[in-house]
Structure 1
Amino acid sequence: MEAQKHNHRTVQAPLATGFDVQTTAKEVIGGLNLTGKVAIVTGGYSGIGLETSRVLAEAGATVIVPARTPEKAKAAVSGIPGLELEALDLMDPASIDSFAQRFIVSGRPLHFLINSAGIMAAPLARDTRGYESQFATNHLGHFQLTARLWPALKQAGQARVISVSSRAHRLGGVDLSDPSFERREYDKWKAYAQSKSANVLFAVALDDKAKAYGVRAFAVHPGLIPSSGIGRFLESEEGGVKPIQTLQSVKEEGGLSPSMEQPDFMKTTEQGAATSVWCAVSEQLDSLGGVYCEDADIAEAVPADSVQGSGVWPWAVDRESAGRLWVLSEQMTGVRFNI
């Protein structure tokens, strides 16, 4: 049975979609009518999350945007049709459960869950459980949220879960023996890379388990987007940390490799949201899942010693590691998927 499942995994290789690095989220949507569809976009009130929310809503979807402080997010999303603001703090397990319960009680199906919020290169901080903040926010918070929303995803019949990762996953995988830097020296970029590798591994494991119910999972690299604040702590409100203000600052902090500094890789916010939206709505991905995507296409699998600026590194799509991370995440959150 296991071998049979393995043979039906989506190949981590480009589809030649016709899209490219310059494709925008609006171009991906085209004339698609999403009336009757429901989406939740974490981090959907700033940067690429806001553009993702806008494009889905303008196509007719009902979009729920959870924010740590909804009142602060109100101005950003004003004027977007069919958008609802809700309260959610990804560092607070009780807040996650409360938000998810409110949605489940509403009785609505959930067609698109786009886990876009996150923090980047934060100084060492821990949540109330003692977990390192980047791993807690970027991975564990979204793991718990997805688990709690599972009944609504299953109810939709055909649903997609998109985890916004980063090309920074190339800087390192998940240390399953010490994910919270309790026994090793803290490095904010390794911690960020670990959380972004975890995002991809979560998509691999979730897709394996959920596809029998019509729920598919994907991980996304949005691209390098200076205009939307890639050179700061993403969704800094979530972690309450001081942002890095410039792309040069990120370079100096060791967050960019030379291959990522080329002008070709610089995207607008509209272009940065394209891959998340493509993974959510594209018919090209029907019956596919469990893969890492970039530039509105499935990314190329690259070897561990690759120095190129694109693709997915092997530790982020390793199926055994994905399974082990799943078990660890259940243990750390105390939350299990009812799959």
Structure 2
Amino acid sequence: MTTPQKPLGSPFGPASTATDVMVGIDLSGKRAIVTGGYSGLGLVTVRHLVQAGAEVIVPARDVDRARAALADLPAVEVLPMDLFSADAVAAFGHALVRRGAPVHLLINSAGIMATPLSRDADGHESQFATNHLGHFRLVCGLWPLLKAAGGARVVSVSSRGHQIAAVAFDDIDFGQRPYDKWVAYGQSKTANALFARALDARGRAHGVRAFSLHPGQILTDLARHLSAEEIAAFDALDAQGNPKVDPDQGVKTIEQGAATGLWCATSPLLAGHGGVYCEDSDVAPVNTGALGRKGVAGWAADDAAAEKLWTLSKEWTGQDVL
């Protein structure tokens, strides 16, 4: 049974940092993969995993940029991969499976937001293709290594933006409806949450548990496609142009933003749990209120929708976990 969407009573909260949640965590002998691990939240996540003793692999579309960003971390290996390319994801997975070393943590942190309309080689809208299908392929490709870990966690970075839209199964790729970059982003983030539920249902018998999360509102490179006017509309900057920080309202520093993902990946409190959406380093409640409030929307915590998404993803990619 999926863990209920109810807080567990974590000792951490909105203002907790990555350093706070990693106190006492020993990852010696563990192997982690972090997509998007060379910028923003992903980079902070990688640094804390390394500090806890983990060996980390960072797949990167821009290998040179990634190696430069991670040059001071000898325990990190950078390998080429582009989530937007099915062939690139497959090549990455095959390369690691040939090595045979188990993967204990997979943190799906990479993503794109509010991009102009574009499509992958199969015609799928780019935000759904990158944020969901790319990570779906990655998990399927790495499945033998996740099972071999004897206890692994897959953590997918969703967003409170999932509250914008459910997955529109009748027109995911905007073939009939007008393209809306925020609706496209919202459904891709809903897909991240549903994916965690469906994956956990399949993985728990093999010791693989899955989680999704909202890190908080943090101004990172994810906002690179937004205009200055759009950023101003979020009220994320103060009068001097510096990012505002108000964790109780969900506006966080990057260290605070990385906390929930690291908590999902490492917290002993989550032993025996899975399939849930987390926020502020705890399991989040179901949101029954307005857009932008704390909690997970009902449509992103729906097992029937999760299974429908899994079936569709399997059909579109030709992959599954076995």
Per the shorter chain, which TM-score range? over 0.9
Report the 3-state secondary structure (helix = DSSP H, G, I; strand = E; otherwise coil) of the residue aligned with 1:74: helix
Match for residue 277 of structure 2 among 284, 292, 295:
292
Q: Partner residue of 1:69?
A: 62
1:141 aligns with 2:134: yes
Report the 3-state secondary structure (helix = DSSP H, G, I; strand = E; otherwise coil) of the residue aligned with 2:124: coil
Q: Partner residue of 1:112?
A: 105
1:183 aligns with 2:168: no
Q: Partner residue of 2:204?
A: 211
Distance 1:124 1:116 in 2: 22
Q: Partner residue of 2:313?
A: 329
Note the C-alpha offset of 1:244: 2.5
Q: Compared with structure 1, are the counterparts of its residues 16 and 164 closer, same or farther at alpha carbon in structure 2 (3 Å cutoff)? A: same
Identity among equivalent pairs (%): 50
Distance 1:118 1:272 in 2: 15
Report the 3-state secondary structure (helix = DSSP H, G, I; strand = E; otherwise coil) of the residue aligned with 2:154: strand
1:58 aligned partner, one-letter code: Q
Note the C-alpha offset of 1:16: 1.6
Note the C-alpha offset of 1:290: 0.3
Note the C-alpha offset of 1:266: 1.6
Equivalence map 1:238-257=2 (5 Å): 243-244=225-226, 249-250=230-231, 252=233
CA deviations 1:255-314 (Å, max 9, x no partner) are: 9xxxxx9833221111111111000110000000000001110001122x5356210000
Match for residue 157 of structure 1 among 150, 154, 159:
150
1:296 aligned partner, one-letter code: S
Q: Partner residue of 2:22?
A: 29
Note the C-alpha offset of 1:254: 11
2:281 aligned partner, one-letter code: A
Note the C-alpha offset of 1:31: 2.6
Match for residue 88 of structure 1 among 81, 88, 98:
81
Note the C-alpha offset of 1:207: 0.5
Q: Partner residue of 1:126?
A: 119
Distance 1:329 1:285 in 2: 27
Q: Compared with structure 1, are the counterparts of its residues 171 and 20 closer, same or farther at alpha carbon in structure 2 (3 Å cutoff)? A: same
Report the 3-state secondary structure (helix = DSSP H, G, I; strand = E; otherwise coil) of the residue aligned with 1:173: coil
Unaligned runs of 5+ in 2: 237-243
Q: Partner residue of 1:275?
A: 260
Q: Partner residue of 1:302?
A: 287
Distance 2:265 2:74 in 1: 19
Equivalence map 1:259-274=2 (5 Å): 263=246, 264=248, 265-274=250-259
Q: Partner residue of 1:312?
A: 296
How many residues are paired up?
313
Report the 3-state secondary structure (helix = DSSP H, G, I; strand = E; otherwise coil) of the residue aligned with 1:320: helix
Q: Is the contact between residue 41 and residue 64 of structure 1 (CA under 8 Å) also seen in structure 2? A: yes
Distance 2:40 2:27 in 1: 22
Distance 1:164 1:125 in 2: 22
Q: Partner residue of 1:20?
A: 13
Q: Compared with structure 1, are the counterparts of its residues 307 and 129 closer, same or farther at alpha carbon in structure 2 (3 Å cutoff)? A: closer
Report the 3-state secondary structure (helix = DSSP H, G, I; strand = E; otherwise coil) of the residue aligned with 1:98: helix
Distance 2:216 2:307 in 1: 27
Distance 2:156 2:227 in 1: 24
1:17 aligned partner, one-letter code: S
Q: Partner residue of 2:195?
A: 202
Report the 3-state secondary structure (helix = DSSP H, G, I; strand = E; otherwise coil) of the residue aligned with 1:86: strand
Q: Which 10-residue stretch deviates more, 262-271 or 107-116?
A: 262-271
Note the C-alpha offset of 1:251: 5.2
TM-score (norm 2): 0.93
Note the C-alpha offset of 1:171: 0.6
Distance 2:3 2:195 in 1: 15
Q: Is the contact between residue 229 and residue 245 of structure 1 (CA under 8 Å) also seen in structure 2? A: no
2:206 aligned partner, one-letter code: Y
1:224 aligns with 2:224: no
Q: Partner residue of 2:239?
A: none
TM-score (norm 1): 0.89
Q: Is the contact between residue 57 and residue 81 of structure 1 (CA under 8 Å) also seen in structure 2? A: no
Report the 3-state secondary structure (helix = DSSP H, G, I; strand = E; otherwise coil) of the residue aligned with 2:156: strand
Distance 1:277 1:58 in 2: 12
CA deviations 1:223-248 (Å, max 9, x no partner) are: 0112x345x14xxxxxxxxx3265x5
Q: Compared with structure 1, are the counterparts of its residues 251 and 171 closer, same or farther at alpha carbon in structure 2 (3 Å cutoff)? A: farther
Distance 1:293 1:229 in 2: 22
Q: Compared with structure 1, are the counterparts of its residues 208 and 254 closer, same or farther at alpha carbon in structure 2 (3 Å cutoff)? A: farther
1:28 aligned partner, one-letter code: V
